[in-house]
Each structure stands twice: as C-alpha cells, then as structure tokens.
Chains A and B, each alone.
Chain A
Amino acid sequence: MVDTKLVRQMALFEDFDRKEIEELAELCSIREFSKGETLFAEERPATHLYTLLKGRVVIMMNGVRGQHALVYTVQPGQAFSWSAMVPPRRYTASAVAVEPSEALIVEGRKLAKLFKTRPQSGYKLMCRVAQLISKRLRHTRLQLLNIHDWQTPENSESKG
C-alpha cells in the first residue's frame, strides 16, 4: 500500500476516481534499486508495471554476439515495462538502474483482475498503456531515422 497522493500523480492513473486510486494504492508498492541493479531481464515473464520515481533506468536489448544496445533512458515520472499488461507478458528488453533509483511498481495480473469487473476503468488504463507503447514506437522510429541520417529512398538517390 502506498500513499494515494503518489498514485494520483502517476500519468498512467490520471483521471481515475478516488475509489479507484485507493484500490490502486493497495496494489502498488515502492521498490529501491541500487546502481547497476537489474530491474528485469529481456525474455523473462513480465510481471510488473513500473513508474520511475527517482534516479535513472536504462532499457537495453541483447544484440548479436552477446552485445547490449542501450535503447532508451527512463526519466523520473515515466512509466515502463508495458509488457506486463499485454500478452504474451514477456519483457521485450532488460532494465538496469544506472543511478540509485526508486520505482512505483504494480503487478500486471492484479491490475487486470481489478479492472475485469470495471471495464470502463480498464479501458481507460489500456488507452494509457497504448499511448505509452505508441509514444515509444514513435521515439524509436525517430531514433532510427536519426541514426540513418534521415536517408529516405528519394534523398539517397539524389545524393548519388
């Protein structure tokens, strides 16, 4: 159980009513991570939805030949590990604290159970999760385009 005020501040739970916030607060807990600690590992079952409260967490993916590519730095206030909300509920990347960090965590299955009986609120939450995924997708596209210097088929042709 965490302070309801804290839950209310989370972007994921904006617009939820008092009762729902109280119920959510029951399910949430706060976890601390030391520098270098792995929050979760790629391909493992995705259990929790996280919102970073303090510190910095880097999302990384295993590449070929055992190399890790850092793909995103989570900043305080941002939610991550949406895989816990979406089948097949496996983490698509690993998360490591690069500074001493603190996160609000909530178990995905418990959230699903809570909202099963209240589809309207569940829909609201899933819309937020979809927003989170779509934002990450847009950022990833932009990062990719940056890496390739915005080379589209047209402008790479004109460059000869």
Chain B
Amino acid sequence: MSDAPPDQGDYRPEIATATEVRPLTATERLFHLILPHRALGHLPGQFVQVSLPGIGEAPISVSSSFTRTSGFDLCIRRTGNVSEALHRVKAGGRVGIRGPFGCGAPLEKCMGQDVLMIAGGLGLAPLRSLVQYICDYRDRFKKVTLLIGARTPETLLFADEYNAWRNEGKINIEATVDTAKKGWTGSVGLITNLIPQIEIWPTSTVVVACGPPIMYRFVMRKLQQRHIPDDRIYLSLERRMKCGMGKCGHCQINDVYVCLDGPVFRYDRLAALPEAVS
C-alpha cells in the first residue's frame, strides 16, 4: 500500500485510518474512516474498494454523505474472508481504500421532486448517504419517504437515527420486519405491503430502491400498480467486482459495467438486461 495520493485510475489503495468502529447489529459494523491527504469526494450511492493486505478487497458502498464530515462511513456485513477480517479492525486500525467508484444516486433528478426511498436489509447502508444528503439540503426536495425492510427488529440498521431523520429531516419513515416478538410497534410483513399505503404522485415522484434482487421483482410490480413511470425508478445493483473501473469485466452485464455505469440504474435502462434484477 502506498501512502501517497493515488493517480486517477490507479490500482494502488490509499491507507485510511478507522477513527471509530461500532457494532450496529450482530453481523454489521460501522466504520468511520479518514484518508490522509483528501476528503473522499463521493456522491450518495457511490462505493469504494476496501482492502486488507494479504487478505483481499471488497466493494463497499459509502454510508455517509460528503456533507457531514471530512471522513466517511462504511457499514460492513460479515459474510466472507474480507469482511470477516475487516470486522477485526479496531479504532486506530488501517485499511486500504480505492475510489470512490460508480455514478451514484440521481441527485439532480430528485431535486424539486417527492423522493421515495426503499431499503431492503443492507440496502439502507448506501441509502443512508442519500438520506443524510437530503436532511442537509432538505429545502431542495419535496415530500420524502423512506420505507425500510429487515428480517427482525434487531437487524434493522441505523434504528437509533430514525428519530433525527424524522424530526430534523422531515422524512416520513415506515419500517417493516419479517417477524417480531410482542412489543414491536412497526409493521410486520414484506416491504411491498407498505407501498399501497403511501401517498404517491406518480409524475412528481422519484424512487430510489436498494436491496436484494428478489425485492426488486416485487417492489417493481407494486410501483407499476401505482403508475410510477419506469424512468422515475432507480435501482442499485450488486455484482461481483474486481477493478471497479470498467477494466476487468467482472461486473459486466452485456455492454454495461455495473461498477462504471452504475451501481444505480434507471429502471427503463435495465429493460434490455433482464438478468440484472433476477
């Protein structure tokens, strides 16, 4: 790893310091990282490649908005080699960072519009960046709604921040879980159940959804029933990635590079890529 700022398109990571690490759930941790020479300079929806020497690299979405601090947050779920090792990094520890990569969320499109964000599970990690951005520039957006789905109340991410998002950000938040014990006051059931309940003006709403591909299948049906045009719906895709720069072809679907052209795509542009959301 080099300590110098990287060239554009460089494969060498920069070393970032984890200034804070906190567990969010049994499987997710939130890392606050700082780069030595620069702010990350990312937009909501973009991702970085995070690495540990001798172990490997993984694409991770940035979970905070550039409007907040000089550093940035990553919410990492423990799933395999790299993420397991990252979970062992403590405050003061160092990790490699390349990026930011990808084209991010459609901020311009959302401005002056109602915004509906739909987050399934870990999908709230990238959307938190957009939520923070909206809270910080609230007057640029009209009605903002955030639908959140998780397996159980215990696996809801950033639950301690919902009140601030509701009160300061004036965001209407509805959370639903697949199962819960008595005492849970939110909804129980699929995230799609929440869509018929919200007030939607189809031609002045922009939808940004992030979650597992199976969620997109059912969410798209409900959004179409609510007559939201396909060119007002954006989905964030996940593909296996290596370079993050449109060079290696790992993330390629036909002529589309998810790392470069996405990961956030307008739904009508995915029409020619049926495997993208299946």
Q: Is B197 a contact of A71 with CB atoms below 8 Å?
A: no
Separation of A73 and B186 alpha carbons in the complex (Å): 9
**Beta-carbon contacts under 8 Å, A51-83 to B:** 56, 58-60, 67-73, 75-77
**Beta-carbon contacts under 8 Å, A16-56 to B:** 56
Q: Is A150 a contact of B214 with CB atoms below 8 Å?
A: yes
Max chain A Cβ within 10 angstroms of own Cβ: one of B152, B190, B196: B190
Q: Which of B30-38, B56-64, B165-173, B177-185 contacts A (4 or more CB under 8 A)?
A: B177-185
User: Which of B182, B193, B212 lies in contact with A70, CB distance below 8 A?
Assistant: B182
Chain B residues whose CB sits within 8 angstroms of the CB of A58 once the complex forms: 188
Separation of A142 and B178 alpha carbons in the complex (Å): 9
Q: Is B189 a contact of A77 with CB atoms below 8 Å?
A: no
Judge whether B187 is part of the interface by a CB distance below 8 angstroms: yes
Within the complex, what minimum Cβ distance (angstroms) separates B154 from chain A?
A: 12
A143 with B181, Cβ < 8 A, contacts A75-B197, A76-B197 known: no
Separation of A144 and B189 alpha carbons in the complex (Å): 10
Chain B residues whose CB sits within 8 angstroms of the CB of A146 once the complex forms: 151, 178
Judge whether A112 is part of the interface by a CB distance below 8 angstroms: no
Residue of A nearest to B182 (CB): A68
Within the complex, what minimum Cβ distance (angstroms) separates A32 from chain B?
A: 20
Residue of A nearest to B212 (CB): A150
The SS class assigned to the A binding surface is mixed
A67 with B181, Cβ < 8 A, contacts A77-B196, A150-B214 known: yes
Chain B residues whose CB sits within 8 angstroms of the CB of A150 once the complex forms: 212, 214
User: How many chain A residues touch the partner (CB < 8 A)?
Assistant: 24
Judge whether A139 is part of the interface by a CB distance below 8 angstroms: yes
Q: Is B214 a contact of A69 with CB atoms below 8 Å?
A: no
Chain A residues whose CB sits within 8 angstroms of the CB of B178 once the complex forms: 143-144, 146-147
Chain A residues whose CB sits within 8 angstroms of the CB of B189 once the complex forms: 72-73, 139, 143
Separation of A77 and B197 alpha carbons in the complex (Å): 9
Chain B residues whose CB sits within 8 angstroms of the CB of A144 once the complex forms: 178
Chain B residues whose CB sits within 8 angstroms of the CB of A59 once the complex forms: 188
Separation of A139 and B190 alpha carbons in the complex (Å): 7
Residue of B nearest to A98 (CB): B185
Judge whether B176 is part of the interface by a CB distance below 8 angstroms: yes
Query: Interface digits, A116-157 against B, CB 8 Å rule (1 contact, 0 not)?
Result: 000000000000000000000001001111110110000000
Q: Is B179 a contact of A71 with CB atoms below 8 Å?
A: yes
Chain A residues whose CB sits within 8 angstroms of the CB of B185 once the complex forms: 98
Q: Is A73 a contact of B187 with CB atoms below 8 Å?
A: yes
- Besides A70-B184, A75-B194, 11 other A-B contacts (C-beta < 8 A): A68-B181, A69-B179, A72-B188, A73-B189, A75-B193, A139-B189, A142-B190, A145-B214, A146-B151, A147-B178, A150-B214
Q: List 22 A-B contacts (CB under 8 A).
A: A60-B182, A67-B182, A68-B181, A68-B182, A69-B181, A71-B179, A72-B188, A73-B186, A73-B187, A73-B189, A75-B187, A75-B193, A75-B194, A75-B197, A77-B196, A139-B190, A142-B214, A143-B189, A144-B178, A146-B151, A146-B178, A147-B179
